[in-house]
Amino acid sequence: MVTKPESTANEFQSGAATSSDTSNAPSSLSNAAFNTASNIGSNGTQTSKPREMKQRKGRFLIAPRRHHQMQMMDLSPLQFSAIEQALRDSPDIEIIDRVGPKHAVGTLATGMPDCTAVLVARMTDDKARSLSLQAQGQLIIERDQPLQLLDMNYAQASLVNCNLPTTGPAFTAEFLVQGNGSPIKDAEVCLMGGLIPASGITDAKGRVKLSLIGESAQSLRRLYVKPRSDYWSFCQEQPDVSSSEMNVIGLRALCDWPSLTNFPQQQQLTWGQRAMRLDQLPSHYRGQGIRIALIDSGIANTHQDLIKITRGYDVINKTQDTTDWTVDTIAHGSHCAGVIAGQDSTSGIRGFAPEAEVHAIKLFPAGQISQLIEALEYCIEKQIDVVNLSLGGAQPSEALEQQIMRAKQAGVACIVAAGNSSGPVNYPASSANVMAVAAIGRLNEFPPDSYHTQTVTPNVDANGFFVARFSCFGPEVAVCAPGVAITSSVPENSFAAWDGTSMAASHVVGLAALVLAHHPEFQGSVGQRSAERVERLFQVIKMSCRPVVPGDQRRIGFGMPDVMRAVGLAPLYSPQMMSAGMSAGMSSPMMQSLANVYREPPRLMPQTMNPGLGSFDPYGSYRPLVSSPMAMPAGYTFGIW
């Protein structure tokens, strides 16, 4: 019988195991034993001290709760200042930021002079729980959720697991991407098989080499190419790919498609703008006097269509350079800006409201809920009229919801992309205080070999409209708008055709600016900044909608807004138009909903948390109701749509 050396036995008893005997090692080692055992290298020499993996302190939001059930215990600014000082004096809590009104405009604009700031603090989960118990429900204490870019990525890989092959035969292929015979640089090429897809970016010669372990030429399912700009995407099912020869892929230029002939040298409207009848609007309807904010990835105002955009704020780098909003590395904000307010010139894309005052608020990449709250504070301070929020996917935030309600009270209308996950409407689009926009597409507005074809769903109406496959759905959807193959501006001075509810929301934001600037109703008392104005704006847009894609109202809301009706140049829908709507294919429930909206006076949400949001645990994490349409699948986080 072999016995263990005494020293080894002693080490085992003290909580450490040697490398020669790990089968009986305890499930957890004491820190001291772990450090002692791990500090000696295999050759007996001293090595750097290892670090045990553990959770870092989290970022939390702390704010007075203004829930309707808590009004009796509402905190005044003076009381909250005392709480803030106590938190700053605590050795276990680090206050890293303070978000809230900075000037009298922000404090008084909402009619709530007692509004207080939101604190951003770093502390442990245990400390947050303890603090919540001490607050007895008077404070919101919730995680400062990170914001993640969720741009339309058609080549999403499956989750890696330990059963997938890591070695063995690999299928390798080289690709050359060209346009008009010239190599295309920086195009994303993705090859998908039955396991994990491989993707890469083309070099200056338009070439990229991809390898897939465990795949063969026969197991390949899809080839996808997404250029950065100026060309249509390419998608091939069951591709015939060679591993021994160069695979050449020719992309179509945007101008090769009939509706974009001579583009961008000759200015165009998006197909969506034409579908909403912007082309029939008198030329002097240009959104003058209206302020629009895009809370997005910035706007590259060096682009020929965006050079008139001169105002902005970089909330991510506010401690360093708030003017960095002109750098848009993602290009998403620039694309949305072109649809909303691209200047009217002889080239490029013309926006809905080329003379509106546009503010670019840079939140992506790497933004967080606290920074979104600060971005909305900027909108209140600057008296913004309409905000474009092309983000979503997070768990609802009570602190953010309170800020959205503050903005609404100040007359700021938030129009939000519903989301691109093909599931329930994401937050904040699911909030009762915003307008949620779903996406539709139209046949024959994109090449049949482009990826846009993958967005088509079977239910297509007589005019070729269809609900986009990716678009989120639910009772919160107010309207739908064009969001497939939308051509707009991207840096440096180029154009790209993109899909997403972001693109759909941009169409509605541009329309909202025209309504506020030119509809006669908003030139009178209704035009005064207030929650009533926001509600009436949303009602006018809904009542302007015409039916598209008959079927599930949860996917299209009231339908697609009509520019001529929305600005008052054609009659809005009324109960008397129900029979006409029925003959056009609009469902009876939808027509009844339109009739109800037509009859209703503006409805105001109370200055409280929306009861439909569910309940919150003692330190602010969201606990959705069982029947809540906003309950999100596990793993969803905030992102740009």
* 215-242 confidence digits (pLDDT tens): 999 999 999 999 999 999 999 999 999 9
Burial of 52 (0-12, 13-18, 19+ CB in 10 A): exposed
- What is the pLDDT, as a whole number, of residue 6? 42
Q: What is the pLDDT of residues 151-166, one digit of tens each?
A: 655 444 444 455 666 6
- Give the domain 268-604 fold: Rossmann fold (3.40.50)
Q: In this structure, which amino acid lies at residue 251?
A: L
pLDDT for residue 454 is more than 90? yes
54: confidence class by pLDDT, cuts 50, 70, 90: confident
pLDDT for residue 70 is more than 50? no
- What is the pLDDT, as a whole number, of residue 485? 97
Find how far residue 538's CA is from the centre of its chain.
21
Average pLDDT over residues 3-12: 38
pLDDT for residue 47 is more than 80? no
Both structure tokens of 489: 């501006």
pLDDT for residue 442 is more than 70? yes
Beta bridge partners of 46: 40
Average pLDDT over residues 116-145: 91
Worst-scoring range by mean pLDDT, 10-14, 59-63, 83-87, 330-334?
10-14
Q: Which residues contact 203 (CB under 8 A, 6 or more apart)?
A: 185
Provide the mean pLDDT of the chain: 82
pLDDT for residue 401 is more than 50? yes
From CA 432, how far away is CA 478, in angstroms rounded? Answer: 10
133: confidence class by pLDDT, cuts 50, 70, 90: very high
| Number of helices (H), then strands (E), in the chain | 15, 26
From CA 133, how far away is CA 131, in angstroms rounded? Answer: 5
User: Long-range contact list for 133-136, CB < 8 A, 24+ apart?
Assistant: 133/618, 136/73
Which segments of 102-142 does DSSP mark as H helices, in order?
A: 104-108, 125-135
Coil, helix or strand at residue 346: coil
Report yes or no: 372 and 407 within 8 Å, Cβ to Cβ.
Answer: no
**Does residue 502 carry a catalytic annotation?**
yes
- What is the pLDDT, as a whole number, of residue 39? 55
- What is the pLDDT, as a whole number, of residue 214? 87
pLDDT for residue 626 is more than 90? no
Beta bridge partners of 122: 59, 94
How far from each other are the two terminal CA atoms of the chain, in whole angstroms?
67
551: confidence class by pLDDT, cuts 50, 70, 90: confident
**Does residue 332 carry a catalytic annotation?**
yes
Q: Judging by DSSP bridges, how do beta strands 465-467 and 486-490 pair with one another?
A: unpaired
Worst-scoring range by mean pLDDT, 13-27, 32-46, 570-584?
13-27
Looking at domain 58-143, its CATH class is alpha beta
16: confidence class by pLDDT, cuts 50, 70, 90: very low
147: confidence class by pLDDT, cuts 50, 70, 90: confident
Query: What is the length of the chain?
Result: 641
Q: Judging by DSSP bridges, how do beta strands 207-213 and 94-99 pair with one another?
A: unpaired
Choose the catalytic residue: 97, 144, 296, 305.
Answer: 296
User: What's the CATH architecture for 170-251?
Assistant: Sandwich (2.60)
Domain ranges for the chain: 6-38, 58-143, 170-251, 268-604
516: confidence class by pLDDT, cuts 50, 70, 90: very high
pLDDT for residue 558 is more than 90? yes
DSSP code of residue 641? -
573: confidence class by pLDDT, cuts 50, 70, 90: confident
Please choose, from the candidates 246, 227, 173, 182, the residue with its C-alpha nearest in 3D space to the C-alpha of residue 447.
Answer: 227
Please choose, from the candidates 626, 144, 184, 625, the residue with its C-alpha nearest in 3D space to the C-alpha of residue 398.
Answer: 144
212: confidence class by pLDDT, cuts 50, 70, 90: very high
Please choose, from the candidates 432, 430, 428, 421, the residue with its C-alpha nearest in 3D space to the C-alpha of residue 397.
Answer: 428
Both structure tokens of 631: 């309950």
- What is the pLDDT, as a whole number, of residue 250? 96
Choose the catalytic residue: 332, 507, 518, 519.
Answer: 332
Q: What is the pLDDT of residues 309-357, one digit of tens each?
A: 999 999 999 888 889 999 999 999 999 999 999 999 999 999 999 999 9
74: confidence class by pLDDT, cuts 50, 70, 90: low
Choose the catalytic residue: 502, 506, 530, 544.
Answer: 502
- What is the pLDDT, as a whole number, of residue 161? 55
Q: What is the pLDDT of residues 178-200, one digit of tens each?
A: 999 999 999 999 999 988 899 99
- What is the pLDDT, as a whole number, of residue 196? 85
629: confidence class by pLDDT, cuts 50, 70, 90: very low
- What is the pLDDT, as a whole number, of residue 100? 86
pLDDT for residue 18 is more than 80? no
Report yes or no: 522 and 478 within 8 Å, Cβ to Cβ.
Answer: no
pTM of the predicted structure, to 2 decimals: 0.83
High-pLDDT (> 70) share of the chain, % = 74
- What is the pLDDT, as a whole number, of residue 598? 44
The residue with tokens 């069951």 is: 238
613: confidence class by pLDDT, cuts 50, 70, 90: very low
- What is the pLDDT, as a whole number, of residue 42? 56
pLDDT for residue 257 is more than 90? yes
Q: Which residues contact 295 (CB under 8 A, 6 or more apart)?
A: 361, 363, 372, 375, 376, 379, 387, 388, 389, 391
Q: Which residue has the higher pLDDT, 501 or 69?
A: 501
